[in-house]
Amino acid sequence: MMTIFSPNCSSSIHAPAEFYAPYADEMLSVARTTCGFQSRDVLRRIVSGEQQRIKEEQMLWRVGGALLGAAFGFSDGFELTDLFVGMAGGSIGGLAHDVMSNHDRRFLEQCQALWLVGAHSPLELAQRLGPARSRILLFDSSWQSPVIFNHHRGSRGDHLVPLGNARNLANGFADERSLEVLNRYFDASELETLEAQLYPIADQVVSVQSLSSLSNSDALAKDLYAQSFMRKSQPVMIQVSGSEVVGYQIPIPATSDF
């Protein structure tokens, strides 16, 4: 696990040129332009597709049941009733892992989509920690590159959640059955886009005592690497358990959920 709060401090107002964070420009661009994993859109498509698939299967069962019923002399035939088809599309955005109905949970389990709203998913984190307000870049000299965090604010206070690549973090890409469902409703190009989106590293959530804006001059005085970031971001001071670190705040893209 990375050690996040070990800030580099300098008494000099202007850091030497050699104190430049590697890949700073690239990570600033990623933070500014890359969408977070679009769980709601993925969930809507899977639920809609699975509902349609189940209805089509029901129709086949009804036709087959009618034929069997006629063959055996039953006037009503045989009919398969699926309780899951009634899942309301409008309820998708409000699903939470700990409050969803057994009906919805069974449906999502059946179509291998529970990971989209389950523990440590983007939707569950937003439910538990509050919505993401911004993105923040942090850098330490022991790291190979800056790390992008989501800044969440809710009833439990402020939290920072590091972000990584969805391909490596989202359970749906690691589980064979879930991936089969994704391949059913998304083409290769769409899956590639989803894999490249940002996804929370939920086991490294950090509780923050305070987060406040910082002037450029103060950032330069406190962080040797400030020049790498502050032209394209807003410096902020972050306090955690008595420690302070300078971060660099960027708005979440308008097209992104988090």
Name the most confidently modeled range: 84-88, 142-146, 239-243.
142-146
> How far, in Å, CA of 54 to CA of 106, rounded?
14
- What would the pLDDT profile of 12-34 be if each residue is shown by its tens digit? 344 455 589 999 999 999 999 99
Rounded-to-integer distance, Cα 28 and Cα 230, Å: 10
Give how far Cα 63 sits from Cα of 49, 86, 94, Å: 21, 21, 36
Question: Which of the two residues, 39 and 241, has the higher pLDDT score?
Answer: 39
- 200-238 confidence digits (pLDDT tens): 999 999 999 999 999 999 999 999 999 999 999 999 999
pLDDT at 53: 81
Residue 19: per-residue pLDDT: 86
pLDDT digits (tens, 9 = 90+) for 144-198: 999 999 999 999 999 999 999 999 999 999 999 999 999 999 999 999 999 999 9
Q: Rounded distance, CA 217 to CA 140, Å?
A: 19
Looking at residue 51, what is its pLDDT?
85
> How much is the pLDDT for 185?
95
Q: Write down the pLDDT at residue 204.
A: 95
* Domains of the chain, residue spans: 24-250
pTM of the model: 0.80
What DSSP string runs through 150-196?
A: EEEEETTEEEEEEEEEHHHH-HHHHSHHHHHHHHHHS-HHHHHHHHT
Q: Are 32 and 232 in contact (CB under 8 A)?
A: yes
pLDDT value of position 18: 59
- Burial label for 247, CB within 10 Å (0-12, 13-18, 19+), is buried
Instruction: Write the pLDDT tens digit of every residue in 89-132.
Output: 445 444 544 556 787 888 889 889 999 999 899 999 999 999 99
| The pLDDT value given to residue 59 | 63
Residue 110: the pLDDT is: 87
- 71 versus 207: the higher-pLDDT residue is 207
